[in-house]
Amino acid sequence: MDVDGIVRARRREQVRDALEFERDREAAIDDQLGDVLAELEGSRIDEAAFATMTPEDVAIVLVLLDPGHAEPAEEFDDADQPVTESANEIRRENEDERARLEDVLEESRARQRALEAYLSALDARPGG
């Protein structure tokens, strides 16, 4: 019985599964980061594009991009008092989320590099 061969094959399978998970995780995090960036920088991009459009077209696009645009959503605290966040607070939260997601993304990429290195090491071993 080739114990080393069996163990290497099993490890390859485990590492490939982990690598696939990390790649899927990276894609999901990248998607979340895109949403946060759109929230942070969307108004700047919109402003430039809207400057070249008719007001009617701008109104249509605003509703399509943000269906709640015309109706501000209200949140309430424990005492049923309206809670409002300033634009600065929202921006700070989005910046914090951006930094967090970038850290998680780098962690995922580091894991992928390590898993790929392990696969290479397995394949380089004699009898691999």
Tens of pLDDT along the chain (128 residues)? 999 999 999 999 999 999 999 999 999 999 999 999 999 999 899 999 999 999 999 999 999 987 766 555 556 566 666 666 788 898 999 999 999 999 999 999 999 999 999 999 998 876 55
Question: In the chain, what are the domain boundaries?
Answer: 3-44+80-124
> pTM of the full predicted structure?
0.72
- DSSP annotation string for 36-88: HHHHHHHHHHHHHHHTTS-HHHHHHHHHHH-TTTTS---EE-TTS-EE---HH
